[in-house]
Amino acid sequence: MVKTFFLGVLVTILGAAACIYVLLARGVIPAGADSGPLPLERWAARLSLRATLATDSPKIPNPVPLTDANLIAGIQLFGRHCAICHGTAAGDASASPIAKGEYPRPPQLATDGVEDDPMGWTYWKIDHGIRWTGMPSWKATLSDQQMWTLALFLKNMNKLSPAAAQAWQAVTNTPSPAGAPAAPGNSSIQGSPSGSSGS
Ligand code: HEC
């Protein structure tokens, strides 16, 4: 009796695994970034993120104090590393080509921000990135202090002081040409207006 029961369970599990294999191997589950999440995928991703934040995110107060200078430092870091995906003060209107093609779409934080989240959550997301999304982990690039500085800005981005607001308005999301120095001869690839000088 017990033996038959376990045999039944085993056959069911193997059957389900075979169905999943067939769905994947025949391309029924889409591999493109433009096809949108499957219902279960979004649910699993959110559930896992929420549980991980509850246990793993730092519970200490932000060690970077709320000052104009720190907000502006956060804005500059954001302009350099994040605006390409998360936009500028112009919100959705400033979504870059990368932001438009990512899956899931990165929130344009000026209009769809994280001011209500604890800063420890935002710090954790910057530090570790978010699995199943295009949100990178920044631990190889930014220091702890820089990540807390970004979390400070994101927490306060809807109530910036005039000086910080001015710095935020100045952020653009076009990659800086300084990041891609034009070697003579490949200026046409860079799309540089001074392209003719190389030939
Ligand atoms: C390559 C694109 C990309 C870059 C660059 C990027 N992110 Fe993200 N980020 C994403 C995506 C996509 C998500 C959405 C994840 C989701 O749907 O849950 C995200 C989510 C987030 C969230 C959570 C938003 C929410 O509503 O919970 C925060 C906070 C965040 N990013 C901060 C940053 C910061 C700060 C930087 C720069 C250091 C940065 N991101 C750089 C793609 C990016």
Residue 155 and residue 119 in contact, taking contact as beta carbons nearer than 8 Å: yes
Instruction: Report the C-alpha gap between 152 and 74 in whole angstroms.
Output: 7
Helix axes 144-156, 68-81, angle to 10 degrees: 100
Residues found in the chain: 199
For each of the chain's 199 residues, which pLDDT tens digit applies? 788 999 999 999 999 999 989 989 999 888 888 888 888 888 999 999 999 999 999 999 999 999 999 999 999 999 999 999 999 999 999 899 999 999 999 999 999 999 999 999 999 999 999 999 999 999 999 999 999 999 999 999 999 999 999 999 999 987 655 545 444 444 444 444 443 433 3
Q: Ligand 1: which of 125, 135, 174 to mutate, most ligand atoms within 8 Å of CB? A: 135
Domains identified in the chain and CATH numbers: 69-172 (1.10.760.10)
Q: Which amino acid is at 71?
A: L
- As a whole number of angstroms, the distance between CA 37 and CA 21 comes to 19
Closest residue by Cα to atom 31, ligand 1, is: 135
Angle at 161 between CA 108 and CA 81, to 5 degrees: 35
Distance 135 CA to ligand 1 centre (A): 5
- Angle, vertex CA 117, rays to CA 113 and CA 118, nearest 5: 140
**Which of 53, 84, 85 best tests ligand 1's pocket when mutated (most atoms within 8 Å of CB)?**
85
The one-letter amino acid code at 147 reads: M
- Phi then psi for residue 145, to 5 deg, are -60, -40
Q: How far is CA 92 from CA 10, 11, 95, 136, 162, in A?
A: 50, 50, 5, 21, 22
Distance of alpha carbon 2 from alpha carbon 7, whole angstroms: 9
- The whole-model pTM stands at 0.86
Q: How far apart are CA 111 and CA 92, in angstroms?
A: 7
Determine the pLDDT at residue 173: 82
